[in-house]
Structure 1
Amino acid sequence: MVETKSSPAVLAFIAGEAAGGIVLIVAAALALIVANSPLAASYQAALHARLGPLSAAHWVNDGLMAFFFLLVGLEVKREALEGALSTGGARVLPVIAAGAGMIVPALVYLAIAGSAPGLARGWAIPAATDIAFAQAVLLLAGSRVPASLRLFLTTIAVVDDIGAVLIIALGYTAQVDLVMLAAAAAILGVMILLNRRGVDRLWPYLLLAALLWVAVYRSGVHATVAGVLAALTIPSRGHDGTSPLGTLEHALHPWVAFAIVPLFGFANAGLSLKGLDPMALLAPLPLAVALGLFLGKQAGIGIGTFACLRFRLAERPEGASGMQLYGVALLAGIGFTMSLFVGGLAFGEGAMLDEVKLGVLAGSLLSALAGFLLLRFARPLPAYQ
């Protein structure tokens, strides 16, 4: 059994994710309340109000969420250089678990909705885990949950995010403007060159990242991909021994966790329940999303995890019992932020997006409740009781 390498920085990061997840839960609940109150018309009008070239909702989803993806890219790079993805042995369990946890939900979705006209496009909606939401529920489960499981869940979500970014870039890109794509490649090349030349000040990278966002947005590739690409060029070590990557990550994290992601949740979780028949959840699209998250995620991550342990491809996270590992697999079915994001890319606005929201909320809520109950009452290994 491996000893978990949980540095104070990692533990602080996980604690921040959990706290941000609680704020996200409040924001999502507030969106549902407002969308079903006399303020519903004003809520929708505010989201569709034009602010320059884009609506307020588009500025949130395409603009502010680029900072979320910038932070994701920074986290991925840090984990690859010095964290849980830095060695081959450490990568095996979360990579296999996360990979299976993306494939199986997609298969569940396609089995239910794939034959319905136009619905196969949403196959990736249940594929990713909302790390902030999941960590918040894990925090509420109590102190008997070992720190190794918090790190395991975080690492699965990081790998999930890598897969989600690839899916967005390759699966949800419409017509491409080759000129703007070439401009984006040139800007990215300059950022890489700055890194190679040892430039460790952040402002040139941030300025070029803004230009990269514009070029990627104009190219037809989803603009949030620019955030991840920019993050990968940020130097991990400066000449004075500091870490520009760490500095930017720590500066961004509170803004993303406590402002940008909750604002995204508030702007996207507002589903009107007026006149909604409970049987609507049995329609192909919401049912496929809900079961993809609730059944597909737990099955994929559970099978991937226990196969790794059974065939000794990896070692069990320190102090974690089998039931606790299964509880984490359940929590991974909370797909809120990324699922809503991909749903918007797949189906745009309108009735179909409302069906996606219904499925995401149902699947995430089921996963959260089941995971919380299991982790709250599951017995840890004796040394951690």
Structure 2
Amino acid sequence: MKQHTHQVEPSTLRRFLASEAVGGVVLMASAALGLALANSPWAEVYFGLLAAPIAGHSTLHWINDGLMAAFFLLVGLEIKRELLDGHLRHWSARVLPGVGALGGMLVPALIYAYFNAHSPQTARGWAIPSATDIAFALGVLALLGGRAPASLKVFLTALAILDDLGAIVIIAVFYAGEPAAPPILGACVTLFLLLGLNLFEVKFLFPYLALGVALWRFVQLSGVHATLAGVLLAAMIPLRLSGPDPEEHTPLHRLENALGPFVAFVALPLFGFANAGVALGGGDLDMAGAPVLLGVALGLFLGKQAGVFAAIALAIGTRIASRPAKTGWLQLYGVAVLCGVGFTMSLFIGQIAFEADEAAMRATKIGVLAGSAASIALGSLLLWLASRRAAAPAHSPTGS
């Protein structure tokens, strides 16, 4: 008799981890390509392409303000799903990644503030080293294969998602700019219409996306950074429906599944390619002692690991939270170091903070690249050593 094997459908979280991890590897490659071109004989072509005008704005502007709105929309969808219906739906599951994210935002900001305390112009970038890049970090874990337990990947994902939530709040509160009243009114009316679609459980995505485009334009005109429109739109997409439709067919799940590949393989790689390109020769190398560079690089590399690990060690030591299953302290420390990879969100905050300061932005890019590279190197080494230790056979005394 022929036996039928049952194919188990991978969970939403496992599919998310896989897509984010592969996207992180693609993001690394595109960022490396941008950096290589910026320091090659084709540098003039590279920078000319980014400055080329399209519909009244540069190519770089459309990537940072347009495509990144899709990234923020996906981040908003992921945050909403995880908090309401995912791994973070219970308070007990939020405690350890929550305190880790909080410590990982506070200490890097303090380190940056220390180096830039005497410069109000550069002190504005205090939030740059406070963000963790989930795609990059999961990409590094993916390269380790099965050596990292699933619980460690889930913990890092949860921490990075809460870290993203903190970064969004920081951008909205501290980098919003002076709002203009008429566009703000238009954005409020649009949000009211989106709320109506949500309350009436409209399942078709087109009206949400059409109003989302209008919301993006109103937010852009208001003086608030346009990418925040993506997060506001995500909050209005229904996660559950009262009808008989399966959960995976709700608007939020359908939009997240459709948007994920575009963000992972188009939006983020283009952002990395466009923003990692910084000339490392000449005057830029003379900036090695600049407060911005030191604040960003040391904030990411030292501040992130110190803040995350101290916070989670305190939470576990005081029994406020428990250690993730099948993980050791060396693995947790390796993940804390890996949180110093702050590429996407750090560069994005830097673009907002130093929009008119080209020298500070160059220093930011070099600091982000240096801090992230050091975090990847040390974090990978620690996780590799931890996996070797876990795989080593235990030595038992002779005789039994």
TM (norm. structure 2) is 0.92
Matched, 1:371 2:379: yes
Alignment of 1:100-139 (within 5 A): 100-139=103-142
Q: Which amino acid in the other structure matches residue 163 of structure 1?
A: G
Aligned counterpart, 1:92? 95
Misfit runs of 4+, over 4 Å: 276-279, 379-385
Matched, 1:268 2:275: yes
Distance (whole Å) between structure 1 residues aligned to residue 154 and residue 392 of structure 2: 16
Q: Which amino acid in the other structure matches residue 284 of structure 1?
A: P
Distance (whole Å) between structure 2 residues aligned to residue 46 and residue 277 of structure 1: 21
Distance (whole Å) between structure 2 residues aligned to residue 281 and residue 184 of structure 1: 43
Distance (whole Å) between structure 1 residues aligned to residue 23 and residue 128 of structure 2: 22
User: Helix, strand or coil for the counterpart of 2:308?
Assistant: helix
Distance (whole Å) between structure 1 residues aligned to residue 288 and residue 12 of structure 2: 42
Quote the RMSD (CA, aligned, Å): 1.7
User: Helix, strand or coil for the counterpart of 1:45?
Assistant: helix
Tell me by how many angstroms 1:141 deviates: 2.5
Matched, 1:353 2:361: yes
Alignment of 1:39-58 (within 5 A): 39-58=42-61
Distance (whole Å) between structure 1 residues aligned to residue 338 and residue 295 of structure 2: 18
Confirm or deny: 8 A CA contact 2:127 2:170 kept in the other structure.
Answer: yes
Alignment of 1:247-262 (within 5 A): 247-262=254-269
Confirm or deny: 8 A CA contact 1:324 1:380 kept in the other structure.
Answer: no
Confirm or deny: 8 A CA contact 2:284 2:362 kept in the other structure.
Answer: no
Confirm or deny: 8 A CA contact 1:93 1:308 kept in the other structure.
Answer: yes
Match of 1:156 among 151, 154, 159: 159
Matched, 1:293 2:296: no
Tell me by how many angstroms 1:384 deviates: 11
Q: Which amino acid in the other structure matches residue 252 of structure 1?
A: L
Match of 1:318 among 325, 329, 334: 325
Tell me by how many angstroms 1:46 deviates: 1.3
User: Helix, strand or coil for the counterpart of 1:101?
Assistant: helix
Distance (whole Å) between structure 2 residues aligned to residue 94 and residue 55 of structure 1: 38
Aligned counterpart, 1:306? 313
Q: Percent identity?
A: 51
Moved more, 7-16 or 155-164: 7-16
User: Helix, strand or coil for the counterpart of 2:320?
Assistant: coil
Residues 277 and 124 from structure 1, CA distance in 2 versus in 1: closer, same or farther, beyond 3 angstroms?
closer
Residues 188 and 381 from structure 1, CA distance in 2 versus in 1: closer, same or farther, beyond 3 angstroms?
farther
Confirm or deny: 8 A CA contact 2:354 2:361 kept in the other structure.
Answer: yes
Larger radius of gyration: 2
User: Helix, strand or coil for the counterpart of 1:157?
Assistant: helix
The superposition leaves residues 130-185 of structure 1 with CA deviations (integer Å, 9 ceiling, x where unpaired) of 11111111122342210011111111111111111111111112221011111101
Tell me by how many angstroms 1:276 deviates: 4.9
Confirm or deny: 8 A CA contact 1:320 1:381 kept in the other structure.
Answer: no
Matched, 1:208 2:216: no
Q: Which amino acid in the other structure matches residue 53 of structure 2?
A: R
Distance (whole Å) between structure 1 residues aligned to residue 211 and residue 290 of structure 2: 45
TM (norm. structure 1) is 0.95
User: Helix, strand or coil for the counterpart of 1:122?
Assistant: coil
Moved more, 118-127 or 276-285: 276-285
Segments of structure 1 that go 5 or more residues without pairing to the other structure are: 1-5
Distance (whole Å) between structure 2 residues aligned to residue 24 and residue 145 of structure 1: 21
Confirm or deny: 8 A CA contact 2:116 2:122 kept in the other structure.
Answer: yes
Segments of structure 2 that go 5 or more residues without pairing to the other structure are: 1-8, 394-400
The superposition leaves residues 37-56 of structure 1 with CA deviations (integer Å, 9 ceiling, x where unpaired) of 12111211111111113211
Distance (whole Å) between structure 2 residues aligned to residue 269 and residue 245 of structure 1: 31
Match of 1:185 among 165, 183, 188: 188
Confirm or deny: 8 A CA contact 1:319 1:384 kept in the other structure.
Answer: no
Q: Which amino acid in the other structure matches residue 148 of structure 2?
A: V
